Amino acid sequence: MTEKTGVRFEEAEKCKGVILTSIAATCAALGWLTRGSPTTMGVVALLGTYFMTGDRYQWLYIWKKTCYRDFLGLRVLLKTIFTITKWERQGKTVVQRWAEVVRMNPDKKAFVMEQRALTFREGDKFSNQISWYFKRQGYKPGEVIALFMETQPEYVFLWLGLAKIRVITALINTNLRGGQLIHCIRVAGCKAVVFGDEMKDAIKEIQQEIPDIPLFQYNSPDRELVPILQDTVPLTVEVSDMSTDPVVDCGEAKPRDTLMYIYTSGTTGFPKAAIITNIRYLLIPLGVQNSAQLKTSDVLYDPLPLHHTAGGVLGAGLGVVIGCTVVLRKKFSASNYWSDAAKYGCTATQYIGEICRYLLAVPPGPNDRAHKVKVVIGNGMRPQIWPEFVERFGIKRVMEFYGATEGNSNLVNLDSKVGAIGFLSRIFATIYPLSLVRCDEITGEILRDANGRCIICGPHEPGLLLGKIDKKKAILTFSGYADKTASEKKMVRNVRAEGDCYFNTGDVLVMDHYGYFYFKDRTGDTFRWRGENVSTAEVEGVISTLVGLKDAVVYGVKIPNTEGRAGMAAIADPEKSLDFTSLAKGLQSKLPVFARPLFVRILPESPLTATFKLKKKDLMEQGFDVGIISDPLYFLDQKTGEYVPLTQKLYDDLMQGFVRL
């Protein structure tokens, strides 16, 4: 076995000896059983020759190393497919599944946050009141209402109540402001907006821009004295008079009907409204339950925002679909993470992106192991901190997974392989049709062979992950976005054969010889920062407007010991007249915090190619290194919110991790 296979030579050779010994013993046994039958002995000889020549025994070695993992994965996959297929044939929706969960444990706590909790029965009654109210307001099946609210126990029951009358809910990111917020309301065709009292100022800013859209203010029970924004409906008061009995005359929804929209940023433009159907919402928590081996008695700690898939579908969905108790937190707190887990008796917790690093940054304390957590579920744990995290907090299992809000390309790490985001069996690879194909990692352009087919990557070769779309199978569907044009852009055709169609994840991964996948990077003009996708084209447009239409290039740069890429803007300003105070204030009002560039570079001339395209590659490679860049560099001070000169000392502090980001 050669070194390029990635499998240790000594282990492979040892395994080869075991295999050949086994084959020899099998030959002898078969020869004895068949009393030397010429035909049988011939077959045995051919088998022995086959396995003892070439590198074929490598596959047996790989099988020996991964057979337990593969059969475990196959069991999870088949169990999930069987259940979701059965539910779809039964015509089951989220509302129907919720009704079953309520009947099983009506008085059990469904959602808990701080000192407040709602049981399954209480949540069901509240959702019925929401149904009756909006039905009487004249909202019809298929119409869309936006939900703009921070995490609280009532959040899920607001959209669930709307689902009971077949009204679609658009879950809007609470970080959005101004034009982005208006866009998200308009792009989904929202007929109304339900907003929490804590979002009152954000709504007030755009109120004059959406005069045709009714606004309903929901005051949280623990903040009942908050005044109602002018020209809005006091939803809390209005709903209290409604019946708690279910609405029964709205017709039956179907599994493939749209349940909600969740917004996700793509490679260009404003956030896109990804379609979440009933069957997809059912599938995600079902798959997590089977993968993590969770029971209805488990308690999940979910400190993630409910307008995202991780917190609102995977996390909250374990309560809605499975019947687990879900503990919520309005805003993630590293110092309270394990104390919360211990306080509420959580047996499973969620993480995303940098959360695990933040937890390790907290000084060791008595709550580090004073909890009952047996599995942590999420994505983005860096391999460099994985062993330390498991050891310090006494975690038995890390269930890292990979998936996109709208995508069909999901991977799960079932055996806590450090650094892996999931795996595909090398033996049963065709059961779950994902493919890694060669691409230009800067542009994201897919490379094809002479026949026009995508070039499949081998082990340890970076490639773009594609997932085959099969409308007949719930686990392989791609429902797309509210904008059909955006949906088409995510599809890749003629990948392996004429006429086939795959979902483009936009992510570059690497697979090893055992079938484990590792995340490498985002392709094209999108990078990830603070767990969010940042569209460079969108940020460039905002900056260009703020600085008088000067050329601006935006890209992501790596900071040591930090997950993702921080935003950096290179602005052409030959006159050196840029007003940094105005720029900082403008970015603060126009962009969510994760999209604001951390670094600014002032260029003496426009970075244009001969074809008038903006250059990025050289700028990305140079990053923010003050040692090689003579242009003025600035850093966004995290305390003051203003850009300050990037000095050598500040650069050194950033490189050594002394500056908190």
Give 51-76 pLDDT, tens digit per residue. 445 456 677 788 888 889 999 999 99
Are 547 and 436 within one domain? no
Are 23 and 99 within one domain? no
Number of helices followed by number of strands (H, E) in the chain: 20, 28
Per-residue pLDDT tens digits for 238-253: 999 999 999 988 888 9
Q: What is the mean pLDDT of residues 270-299?
A: 95
Are 496 and 642 within one domain? no
Please tell me the predicted confidence (pLDDT) of residue 525: 67
| Residue 304 near residue 352 (C-beta atoms within 8 A) | yes
DSSP reduced 3-state for 364: coil
Are 270 and 325 within one domain? yes
Count of domains forming the chain: 4
- Starting at the edge strand that comes first in sequence, how are the strands of the sheet with 299-302 ordered? 116-119, 109-113, 325-328, 299-302, 348-352, 375-379, 397-402, 411-412
Are 166 and 244 within one domain? yes
Position 9 confidence tier, pLDDT thresholds 50, 70, 90: very low
Cα(359)–Cα(474) distance, integer angstroms: 36
Please indicate, yes or no, if residue 384 is contained in any of the structural domains.
no
Position 519 confidence tier, pLDDT thresholds 50, 70, 90: confident
Tell me the β-bridge partners of 144. Answer: 168, 190
> pTM of the predicted model, to two decimals?
0.79
Cα(583)–Cα(142) distance, integer angstroms: 41
DSSP-assigned letters across all residues of 409-445 = --EE-SS--TT--EE--SSSGGGS-EEEE-B-TTT-P
Mean residue pLDDT of the chain comes to 87
* pLDDT greater at residue 514 or residue 442: 514
Which residues form the domain of 178?
Answer: 91-331
* pLDDT greater at residue 57 or residue 113: 113
pLDDT at 351 over 60: yes
Per-residue pLDDT tens digits for 122-136: 999 999 999 999 999
Are 458 and 574 within one domain? no
Residues comprising the chain, all counted: 661
Q: Choose one of 331, 365, 386: the last residue of a domain.
A: 331
- Amino acid identity of residue 616, one-letter, is K
DSSP-assigned letters across all residues of 46-88 = HHHHHHHSTTTHHHHHHHHHHHHHHHHHHHHHHHHHHHHHHHH
Are 259 and 164 within one domain? yes
β pairing state of 599-603 and 501-511: unpaired
DSSP reduced 3-state for 491: strand
Q: What is the mean pLDDT of residues 251-269?
A: 81
Please indicate, yes or no, if residue 378 is contained in any of the structural domains.
no
**Encoded tokens for 339:** 């104390």
Are 253 and 312 within one domain? yes
Output b/e per residue, 586-601; b: 16+ Cβ within 10 A: bbeebbbebbbbbbbb
Q: What is the mean pLDDT of residues 605-616?
A: 61
Please indicate, yes or no, if residue 256 is contained in any of the structural domains.
yes
Position 34 confidence tier, pLDDT thresholds 50, 70, 90: very low
Please indicate, yes or no, if residue 115 is contained in any of the structural domains.
yes
Q: What is the mean pLDDT of residues 480-489?
A: 86
> SS3 string of 164-175?
CCCCEEEECCCC
Q: What is the mean pLDDT of residues 351-363?
A: 86
DSSP reduced 3-state for 113: strand
Are 258 and 321 within one domain? yes
